[in-house]
Amino acid sequence: MILIDGKETAAEIKLEIAAEVRKIIDGGGKKPHLAAVLVGTDGASESYVNYKVKDCEQVGFGSSLIRLPEETPEQELLDTVAELNKDPEIDGFIVQLPLPEHIAELKVIESIDPSKDVDGFHPVNVGRLLIGMPCFQSATPAGIVELIARYNIETSGKHCVIIGRSNIVGKPIAALLAQKRSPGNCTVTVCHSRTPNIKDLTLQADIIIAAMGYPGFLTEDMVPDGAVVIDVGTTRVKSDQTKSGFKLKGDVDFEGVAPKCSYITPVPGGIGPMTRVSLLLNTLKAAKKEVYG
């Protein structure tokens, strides 16, 4: 069994990005700049955004954090987005989700210039992802594909069973792994809450991606010998073993499942760090105008 070390891989990628940033600056270029817009004071959103700013510092990107109060009218947020779209200093930006209920999320996302949409949530980027064209891929599926590539895990002709059909994980990773390319060329099965026989399906899988947010869902009896298991779950559960009083738990019962796997990602330290680094990779691509020219 090989433990896929997302933390280490993400650290390596950060070093690669930092080296490229230095090269850009040495060549007289401008340092890549990521902006984040945070509306309100949701605790989880605060900490995600802070991580993103810190990641930027680590690799030498510039970053801006734009804070707007919870009661910001939708139009004011749209105006902020319009300014960021125009600002030549900003290569890419994100609007941290979820937004307060009085703001229409899709409307805001569609107002972002697709060429600066480094979260990859704009329908233009989602659509390009599905049809296999250049795009900003959303962070978690991009991170999964990057890990698979860096560990040289064969995907062509393999059966990948994905549990979960969310817009930010299940659907895009299904689309990416079915594409005619490498990594890709998987037979892909998407199952979800309405699937009556998930175990029958996972038992036929070469690769299992668990992404439904149900801690410990995937148990030993559901996994065939030699499977690759990717755990996208990150549910906070109470714990008396940590200072914070909680710990992250994945969708996979790691202790039972790991001994049967050829490869497995842990939680924490698997897909989480890769998700964070994907945003940096997208920002670098945006700065280099690799997707939209």
Residues forming beta bridges with residue 160, ordered by sequence position: 188, 207
Stretch that binds a second copy, among 32-40, 48-56, 127-135, 140-148 (CB under 8 A): 127-135
137 contacts a second copy (rule: CB under 8 A): no
Residues 62 and 57: their CA atoms lie apart, in Å, by: 7
123 contacts a second copy (rule: CB under 8 A): yes
171 contacts a second copy (rule: CB under 8 A): yes
Question: In this complex, which beta carbon is closest to a second copy, that of residue 179 or of residue 235?
Answer: 179
Least separation in angstroms between residue 53's CB and a second copy is 27
Give the residue numbers annotated as catalytic, written as ranges: 52, 96, 119
Residues forming beta bridges with residue 247, ordered by sequence position: 237
The residue written with tokens 């309100």 in the block is: 40
Residues 86 and 269: their CA atoms lie apart, in Å, by: 37
Least separation in angstroms between residue 203's CB and a second copy is 12
Question: In this complex, which beta carbon is closest to a second copy, that of residue 5 or of residue 110?
Answer: 110
For 62, what's the count of Cα atoms within 13 Å in the CB-facing half-sphere? 13
Question: In this complex, which beta carbon is closest to a second copy, that of residue 127 or of residue 245?
Answer: 127
Among 11, 130, 203, 248, contact with a second copy (rule: CB under 8 A): 130
Q: How far is CA 218 from each of CA 9, 133, 163, 222, 227, rounded to the nearest angstrom?
A: 24, 33, 9, 6, 12
Among 190, 228, 277, 284, contact with a second copy (rule: CB under 8 A): 190
Among 49, 99, 103, 174, contact with a second copy (rule: CB under 8 A): 174
178 contacts a second copy (rule: CB under 8 A): yes
Least separation in angstroms between residue 106's CB and a second copy is 6
Q: How far is CA 185 from each of CA 160, 203, 212, 286, rounded to the nearest angstrom?
A: 10, 20, 23, 27
Q: Which of 66, 64, 79, 67 is nearest to 34 (CA)?
A: 64
For 219, what's the count of Cα atoms within 13 Å in the CB-facing half-sphere? 3
Least separation in angstroms between residue 173's CB and a second copy is 12
Among 82, 133, 149, 237, contact with a second copy (rule: CB under 8 A): 133
Helices (H) and strands (E) in the chain — how many of each? 10, 11
201 contacts a second copy (rule: CB under 8 A): yes
The residue written with tokens 């906070």 in the block is: 236
Residues 23 and 290: their CA atoms lie apart, in Å, by: 16
Residues that bind a second copy (CB under 8 A): 106, 110, 122-133, 156-157, 159, 165, 167, 171-172, 174-175, 178-180, 185, 187-192, 194-197, 200-201, 204
